[in-house]
Structure 1
Amino acid sequence: MTPVIFQLPAPVGEVLARLAAAGFEAWCVGGCVRDTLLGKRPFDWDVATSARPEETRAVFAGERLVEVGAAHGTIALVPPEGHPIEITTFRSDGEYTDARHPDSVTFSRRLEDDLSRRDFTVNAMAYHPDRGLVDLFHGREDLEQGLLRCVGDPARRFQEDALRILRCLRFASQLGFAIQQSTGAALWEEKGRLQTLSHERVREELTKLLCGENAAPVLREYAGILFTLLPELAPMKGCAQETPYHCFDVWEHTLHALEHAPADAALRWAALLHDTGKPARKTFSPDGVAHFYGHPPESGRVARRVLTRLRFSKREAEWIASLVDHHEDPMPMGEKALKRLLGQHGEAFVFTLFQLQEADLSAKAPGVFQRRLPDLEGSRARARAILERGDCLTLGDLALSGEDLKALGIPPGPEMGSLLRRLLDAVQEGGVPNQAAALERLALCLWREEGYKK
């Protein structure tokens, strides 16, 4: 194996040096060691030490310290520059009766005890600039082979903490690693424990998984584990699409769309959920061709249910679900439809929708993408032209405001709001220029002639 070369950030080196000067062992551990060995720059650096929490506080007296997990021996040092450095006492864990956290921890003076409690071999290595790499479980070898293997008995690791099941799939997605056979078998055996996890932690891990470069193959192989958490997705697997536009069942189509979608969290979630309504909407015409009429709004309903359960914010959930609602909007989009969409959801949403539509096309039968891409590009070009011209897209863009209508004698209220929307429609349809005088004339005409006035 090639020699280990680490370039520690100065604050991390200082943490190690100060603990050593006080008579304690201290090592870089976990993901920062793994990522460095993979040639990546770690985002966070974690330090494990023989110092008890109170001893750590004494060593760094006068520094900014944050108690992030004192019961489990973790204190974060916040340097003047850079990210917080978590400093955790060597420990061994007690029983995990809640399948998530140890009921108790026993602080230790031995690095071996701390490494032995960790989840995967690639995360169970330690490094010190003077003492080199400590690798008790052949984690470096597993890194070089691209293998995820539990430390010790896999079933026990997953029984202790069910989140490790999702972490295993997430690491496989992010790193492109295979899952070692006995570890993979334990994933299936213990998947029922996923029901004990908080919805927030499930959301966080699934989002990281979905954004990994290898999300599609991982979900393909371990679909049943995902369905334990998101049963709404299970009917897609095996739901054939007997149409000229498709060559995969709904689940396989979804995985291909996911693979072609840029690794943006909201976009990847929209790709995962965009066809969840298809199985419930499947019908056949007399010639044996399948149809999925009304599946976008049905998929949107399923998406909102899933996203709400996973505790997405209202804004995030509505953004993703609205992408699902609109993913089958006709292409190329007409100018009026595009202006309405831009006005309602904004530029970022519309161009993200185009990315979803492109990923969707990429996952269809051979030839469909090539035939339909010009239509999609036409929508993109038309949207850019609308934005470049500065066309009227929202009520705020109108040359006439509610205050102007009040000056014309039209009282505020629901009727005024309806009237303003009529004026916006007229401008977007090209029936009237966005000029105050023209809008005043139309407003008075509509008010007098179409029954708004009491």
Structure 2
Amino acid sequence: MFEIALPLEVRVIIEALQKADFEAFVVGGCVRDSLLKEQFDEFSPLYPKDWDIATSAKPESIRRVLEPLKIQVIPTGIKHGTISALIGKKIYEITTYRIDGEYIKHRRPKEVFFVSNLKDDLYRRDFTINAMAYHPDIGIFDPFDGKNDLKNKIIKAVGNPNERFKEDALRILRALRFASRFGFEIDTLTKKAIWSHKKLLKFISKERIREEIKGILCGKWAGDVLREYIEIIGFAWSGENNIFERIIHDKEKILQAIAFCPQEFIPRIAILIYESQITLQRSDEILAQLYFDKKTQKTIFELIRHIPIEFVEEKSWIKKYLNILGQQRFKVLLGIKSAQYKSEGKPQGIIKIKKIGIMLEEIIQKNEPFSLKDLAINGYHLKEIGVPRKKIGIMLEAMLEAIIDEKISNRQDELKKFAKGLLGMDRQYG
């Protein structure tokens, strides 16, 4: 029998419910990820993030069982049969076996009904690989052959895929996210249902769409998913006016560039929008459509704006762009340019980026100045030597530029002398 190494806290919860004559199993993603870790070398580092528990006990009974054990019970979703057990700093969700009633706007059930049968509970779930349960004494409970689908790397809806997507249209993007994350194929009937029901995505909140698209783009197999489903992703993002229309008709170089990027959302979305030949103004509008926070919007916009620049293998040029973008964004931009050159088959460009990367690390390690905060002088020092308040900012920028161009060194005495010289010229000609 296959054994999952359950956390001690999970065992405590299961055993407590079992002693009170209730069933309790871990369910969903933790079972899937434990099996992946066991069956495939490529997933050996995988460890379940969350340990969700399904039980025949109703919420009030769960509370009565756990509170005597000094486990804090939080009523996070009593209406839907879910409570959370807080043990230490970790939260474990415990949900009563249930079936869903009528769904509202292709997203959430209007009501749920508690049941006593685990199979009925698993039947309401999205995909067979997520519809498995585990008990340490019983092993895997797998009524929909999810284990076999996992072995064959297949994403298949539980039951009728048309019904599953009509119930909850977000499952369309979840299927693509799992395909991108695990490199799985989507079952033929499930794939057909995805295309048939793609327009139901208009009922899903933009915030939820944003999070699923982030997951899709960060997957190891994102390029394969985009190759086949970019039209679905574009529709989810912007409706009928597909923002990624160019990629639909001209994919390969763009998808290769994305695949060569680090598995991180910001560089991948930046290159996706840039390569779609979307204007800068429109790019800003597109990012706002999915309610990205202002900081993320600004970062992505700045990267898109600077992707076309010609990179130069000079320390002064690197420092000037470090001042403009900051260290983190500049490093991301380097990764994007490297991915571009790789997708275009330009080895000289790749070599150039590597050299710039080495120079960048040298600048950082030596703490060489590239921004105003790095200067050995500040506004108070300039005020002391008589620089007018309105001129201080301009003079600090002039000093930084002179240091970057190696005309002066970053020493306070030399900077004061430089400032006095500028001040004298300003008085003479101003």
TM-score scaled to structure 1, two decimals?
A: 0.87
CA distance in 1, matches of 2:429, 2:74: 64
Say whether 1:198 aligns with 2:205. Answer: yes
Q: How many residues align?
A: 417
CA distance in 1, matches of 2:351, 2:281: 30
Which residue of structure 1 lines up, in the alignment, with residue 292 of structure 2?
A: 312
Give the alignment of 1:346-425 within 5 angstroms. Answer: 346-364=326-344, 366=345, 368=346, 370-413=347-390, 415-425=391-401
Residue by residue over 1:388-439, the C-alpha shift from the partner in whole angstroms, topping out at 9 and shown as x without a partner, is 33222111222221111111222323x3212211221122112222233332
Residue by residue over 1:139-166, the C-alpha shift from the partner in whole angstroms, topping out at 9 and shown as x without a partner, is 1111111111111111111111111011
Deviation at 1:356, TM superposition (A): 1.2
Deviation at 1:94, TM superposition (A): 0.7
Deviation at 1:383, TM superposition (A): 1.7
Which residue of structure 2 lines up, in the alignment, with residue 67 of structure 1?
A: 75
Residue by residue over 1:108-138, the C-alpha shift from the partner in whole angstroms, topping out at 9 and shown as x without a partner, is 1111220111111111111111122221111
Which residue of structure 2 lines up, in the alignment, with residue 265 of structure 1?
A: 265
Which residue of structure 1 lines up, in the alignment, with residue 416 of structure 2?
A: 440
Q: Contact 2:231–2:248 at 8 Å: present in 1 too?
A: no
Counterpart amino acid of 2:413?
A: A
Q: 1:16 to 1:213 in 2, by over 3 A?
A: same
Counterpart pick for 1:144 among 140, 146, 151: 151
Say whether 1:95 aligns with 2:72. Answer: no
Counterpart amino acid of 1:419?
A: M
Counterpart amino acid of 1:356?
A: I
Counterpart amino acid of 1:315?
A: K
| Structure 1 segments unaligned to the other structure (5+ residues) | 240-248, 281-297
Say whether 1:135 aligns with 2:133. Answer: no
Say whether 1:48 aligns with 2:48. Answer: no
Deviation at 1:106, TM superposition (A): 0.6
| Structure 2 segments unaligned to the other structure (5+ residues) | 38-45
Q: 1:115 to 1:238 in 2, by over 3 A?
A: closer
Deviation at 1:448, TM superposition (A): 4.0
Residue by residue over 1:69-100, the C-alpha shift from the partner in whole angstroms, topping out at 9 and shown as x without a partner, is 2211111112126x321100000101112211
CA distance in 2, matches of 1:238, 1:266: 21
Counterpart amino acid of 1:237?
A: I
Q: SS of 2:75's equivalent?
A: strand
Deviates further, 186-195 or 341-350: 341-350
CA distance in 2, matches of 1:371, 1:134: 55
Q: Contact 2:312–2:318 at 8 Å: present in 1 too?
A: no
Q: Which is helix-richer, 1 or 2?
A: 2
Q: Contact 1:423–1:439 at 8 Å: present in 2 too?
A: yes
Q: Contact 2:342–2:350 at 8 Å: present in 1 too?
A: no
Which residue of structure 2 lines up, in the alignment, with residue 243 of structure 1?
A: none
Deviation at 1:8, TM superposition (A): 1.3
Deviation at 1:451, TM superposition (A): 6.9
Q: 1:448 to 1:254 in 2, by over 3 A?
A: same
TM-score scaled to structure 2, two decimals?
A: 0.91
Counterpart amino acid of 1:403?
A: Y
Deviation at 1:450, TM superposition (A): 4.1
Deviation at 1:17, TM superposition (A): 0.7
CA distance in 1, matches of 2:83, 2:368: 54
Report sequence identity in percent.
36
Counterpart amino acid of 1:69?
A: G
Counterpart amino acid of 1:86?
A: E
